[in-house]
Amino acid sequence: NAGVTQTPKFQVLKTGQSMTLQCAQDMNHNSMYWYRQDPGMGLRLIYYSASEGTTDKGEVPNGYNVSRLNKREFSLRLESAAPSQTSVYFCASSLNPRSGAGEETQYFGPGTRLLVL
Amino acid sequence: AQSVSQHNHHVILSEAASLELGCNYSYGGTVNLFWYVQYPGQHLQLLLKYFSGDPLVKGIKGFEAEFIKSKFSFNLRKPSVQWSDTAEYFCALRGTYKYIFGTGTRLKVLA
């Protein structure tokens, strides 16, 4: 099992350029998440997908769009990059049983470092 | 409102010192709590988690945490830290489909 994989690992963009960050998981998890990590601010949720076919906004969705392509893949798109989007982006997944409360652990990918000039 | 607070932003300890990192939460439902660790240049890894039962939870690498419901706390402890424990530590709360993370505590252990 590769777990959660992300591409690319590093990216430099110019202001106004667009790009898509890819994320895939091979653990048959239902839920997937995109976070950004900034110094002193911890992890902030951008978007999440509780299950295939659904997506919802998190804490900081402005400037981003997402697509849950299938159960395995969840991509994050920056349509017009801004310097404020310079950050480290982490994708995560969790099993998230549909019925009742069950044990839940998020598994994280290695991250994508994005620099917007 | 759902929130997680980590009051220690930076902690510096000498090897063999004891560690306690504070985590307080605000949540109205059944709490699921986690501590994650991020070593320099790496992604987040689970240290331990609490769902129910014994409020003293033991995790990997000698870490433990105690859930105190009356204090809304889930503090992380280790009796004797090592240089290799230098990392950033995040407390997290699971709400409905979403996780809320604290701002993290950077721990530096001096050899």
* Res. A100: pLDDT tops 90: no
How far is Cα of residue A58 from the mean position of the Cα atoms in its chain? Answer: 11
The residues that bridge with B91 in the sheet, in sequence order, are: B35
B1, B17, B12: which is closest to B82 by C-alpha?
Answer: B17
Instruction: Report d(CA B43, CA A63) in Å as an integer.
Output: 24
* Res. A102: pLDDT tops 80: no
Instruction: Report d(CA A88, CA A38) in Å as an integer.
Output: 7
CB contact under 8 A, A42 and B104: yes
CB contact under 8 A, B43 and A110: yes
Q: Render pLDDT for B57-67 as a digit per residue (tens, 0 to 9).
A: 999 999 999 99
Q: Render pLDDT for B4-57 as a digit per residue (tens, 0 to 9).
A: 999 889 999 999 999 999 999 998 777 889 999 999 888 899 999 998 889 999
Instruction: Report d(CA A39, CA B62) in Å as an integer.
Output: 27
Q: Is A27 on the interface with B (CB under 8 A)?
A: no
The residues that bridge with A87 in the sheet, in sequence order, are: A114
CB contact under 8 A, B103 and A105: no
